[in-house]
């Protein structure tokens, strides 16, 4: 398939590959050779989030980053499901199709429960974990998340997400710690994948599912022992206005073999905003075993 005109070769110099899921075509990149690293994004991002990790790490490792259905360069079928569990089921089919053996799993934002679902269900396949600002438990205890989810479920939320493309246009910028790397050109790569109201429905669904999928998140959290002892690198942006240190504390309680790298000046989108600081830590972590 042709690259869209808004996608800069210099920013995203990877060959596009495709996987035909039962619900629609998923786009992914698969760069380099060696021990596989699978990177799972959240919202409102896509594999572009990881571009500055893919390039250096693919010199020594096989780096795979997939776009969830409805995100990035994947299709957006109107009749597909877009809940986190729907994405997790498709991710499972995708990873299984690659027959990777053991691999390192990296997750961010909604990619946490989506990707960790695979690790919890098939712990023998995931050798190490890389965790960027995310969660794995019900968010019902968060007053802020409950209020946000309630607002976004109504007509005002649909207007914000579907008419104004508010998630990548406004929320993404708000959740950056240092906006200097987020140039207009880079920002366009986050807004352009959602050109119409129909294309933005998957974003709106995930906003609603912050609380709507609480039962599924909690079911994963109750099985966290499946991943608790795996070597884990946790790289956390401390200027994240939504995922504060209480989230990091909970990860530290759940993981018994973790290394934590705190980034005091970094916001939510760690793999993009702080790639230059994360890559050396990742290299050290991957070389340890």
**What phi-psi label fits residue 70: left (phi over 0), alpha (psi between -120 and 50 degrees) or beta?**
left
Residues annotated as catalytic (active site), given as ranges? 109, 240, 268
Terminal CA-CA length for the chain:
38
> Residue 56 in contact with residue 83, Cβ under 8 Å?
no
| Site of tokens 């976004």 | 152
The pair of three-digit structure tokens given for residue 21, joined into one six-digit string: 């899921």
Q: Could you give the count of Cα atoms lying within 13 Å of 13 in the half-sphere of its Cβ? A: 8
| Strand locations in 176-273 (E) | 232-237, 258-263
**Antiparallel, parallel or unpaired: β 126-134 and 103-109:** parallel
């Amino acid at each position: 398939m042709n690259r869209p005109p808004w996608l800069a070769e210099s920013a995203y110099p990877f060959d596009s590959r495709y996987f035909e899921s039962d619900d629609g075509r998923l786009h992914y990149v698969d760069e380099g050779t060696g021990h596989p690293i699978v990177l799972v994004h959240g919202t409102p991002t896509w594999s572009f989030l990881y571009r500055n990790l893919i390039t250096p790490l693919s010199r020594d490792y096989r780096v795979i980053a997939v776009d969830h259905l409805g995100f990035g360069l994947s299709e957006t079928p109107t009749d597909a499901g877009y809940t986190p569990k729907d994405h997790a089921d498709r991710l499972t089919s995708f990873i299984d199709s690659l027959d990777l053996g053991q691999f390192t799993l990296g997750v961010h934002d909604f990619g946490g429960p989506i990707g960790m679902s695979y690790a919890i269900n098939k712990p023998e396949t995931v050798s190490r974990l890389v965790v960027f600002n995310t969660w794995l438990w019900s968010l019902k205890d968060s007053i802020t998340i409950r209020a946000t989810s309630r607002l976004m479920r109504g007509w005002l939320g649909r207007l914000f997400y579907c008419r104004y493309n508010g998630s990548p246009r406004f929320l993404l910028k708000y959740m950056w710690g240092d906006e200097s790397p987020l140039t207009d050109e880079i920002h366009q790569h986050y807004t352009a994948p959602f050109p119409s109201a129909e294309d933005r429905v998957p974003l709106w669904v995930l906003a609603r599912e912050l609380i709507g999928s609480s039962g599924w998140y909690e079911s994963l959290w109750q099985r966290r022992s499946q991943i608790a002892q795996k070597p884990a690198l946790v790289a956390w942006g401390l200027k994240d206005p939504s995922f504060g240190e209480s989230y990091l504390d909970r990860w530290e309680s759940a993981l018994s073999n973790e290394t934590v790298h705190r980034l005091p000046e970094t916001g939510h989108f760690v793999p993009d905003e702080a790639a230059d600081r994360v890559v050396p830590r990742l290299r050290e972590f991957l070389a340890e075993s």
